[in-house]
Amino acid sequence: MSTPYLELRGLGKSYDGRTRALDNVSLTAAKGEFITFLGPSGSGKTTTLMLVAGFESASEGDILIEGRSIGRVPPHKRGIGVVFQNYALFPHRTAAENVAFPLLMRKMPKAQAMAKAAEMLGLVGLERFGGRYPREMSGGQQQRVALARALVFDPALLLLDEPLGALDKNLREQMQIEIKAVQRRLGVTTIFVTHDQSEAMAMSDRIVVFDGGRIQQVGAPLDIYRYPSSSFVARFVGDSNILAARLTDPAGGQAEIAGIGTVRVPALPAARAGDAIELLLRPECLKPGSGLDNAARLTVDVIVHFGDSALVTGHAGGTPLRARLEGLAAQGISAGDTLPLSWATSSSHVIGRDAAG
């Protein structure tokens, strides 16, 4: 196998010598890839980013770019662009001067640096804002300046540390698209840190899910959504029903769920009859009616309408269940109703076992 563009090799970090903030984090990334570190706070995603940027040093392991170790290189010689959560624009410099800063630090003549900065500001849609100070700009504009500043010197890597956290919802969605577009256009390998799973789903080529200082799962967004490797990942990425079941026929794909009865599950030839499993059923995979492979009767406790969809919460027998129905199909349903639902076996997933499709 050829040398990966970026490689994290067994990274570990301990601040006090006893507790581990990060444990054996290994990952490779291809040139131009957009990778998202997703996890709750304290999961190690930001610590990993700090190690890659060089603001903290790893207790164990190494970081390589194109096969060369940068583990001992100080941050100002790594050539890695970073966008911070609070943007970290220099308040005493204009937008253009902020963007020119990395070029001036690289001894580019001032006129040339300012010209390149103006060009970069144009790329993020701020060609007329070069003379403004950060305090005179909106959050979204500051965000774009920070992005331009981190990209203007052709960094080996772009790191984004929860950059959209401070923006309101509409602006955040717009910035997701813009960041993605600029990233693709420049082809820069990017690591994006967030705790927002929908942001991760929307932007990434691959998602790395962190928890407890370790990588829990790495994969394409839809693969992680459909085939989570643990109930933590299943709960953290998307809405979920996780049903406790007992295999009755592993090879034939049959299991028993309390309150629902016998259901079909993806075949697990390696498992044994009687094994306890966790079956993941995404709420939107439950359809009204009984036309699909498996059926359940849901007693509705609460229904919340969102217009385009409705979330029905209730139980089937003793098993709590959530279903997301299309808005029109959910019209007329109210608490206390009993609803026939069904799902396709292929839309369910046995957590922690190799997916059979």
Q: Which residues are near other proteins by CB under 8 A? A: 53-55, 74-82, 84-86, 88-92, 101-102, 105-106, 133, 136, 149-150, 153
- By beta-carbon proximity to other proteins, the closer residue of 56 and 199 is 56
The length of the chain is 357
Rounded CA-CA distance 143/301 in Å is 43
- Rounded to an integer, what distance in angstroms lies between the CA atom of residue 62 and that of residue 71? 5
Q: Are strands 34-38 and 190-194 parallel, antiparallel or unpaired?
A: parallel
* Nearest by Cα to 275 from 243, 248, 241, 242: 248
Backbone φ and ψ of 287, nearest 5°: -110, 150
We find the least distance from the C-beta atom of residue 338 to other proteins, in angstroms, to be 55
Whose Cβ is closer to other proteins: residue 159's or residue 247's?
Answer: 159
Copy the structure tokens of residue 272.
Answer: 């044994």
Closest CB 190 distance from other proteins, rounded Å:
14
Contact 50, 1 (CB under 8 A): no
Q: Where are the alpha helices (DSSP H) in 152-249?
A: 169-186, 197-203, 221-226, 231-236
DSSP helix/strand/coil, 193: strand
Q: In the complex, what is the shortest distance from the CB of residue 90 to other proteins, in angstroms, rounded to a whole number? A: 6
Q: What is the DSSP string of 162-177?
A: STTTTS-HHHHHHHHH
In the chain, the largest separation of any two C-alpha atoms, in whole Å, equals 75
Handedness of CA 147, 149, 154, 157 (dihedral sign): negative
Q: How far is the CB of 135 from other proteins (least distance, A)?
A: 9
Question: Based on CB atoms, which residue is closest to other proteins, 15 or 306?
Answer: 15
Query: Is the CB of residue 120 less than 8 Å from the CB of residue 73?
Result: no
We find the least distance from the C-beta atom of residue 93 to other proteins, in angstroms, to be 8
Q: Across-strand partners of 91?
A: none
State the minimum distance, in angstroms, from the CB of residue 105 to other proteins. Answer: 4
Between 158 and 207, name the residue whose CB sits nearer to other proteins. 158
Nearest distance from residue 238's CB to other proteins, in Å? Answer: 31
CB closer to other proteins out of 88 and 292 = 88
State which residue, 106 or 110, has the beta carbon closest to other proteins.
106
Residue among 89 and 224 whose Cβ is closer to other proteins: 89
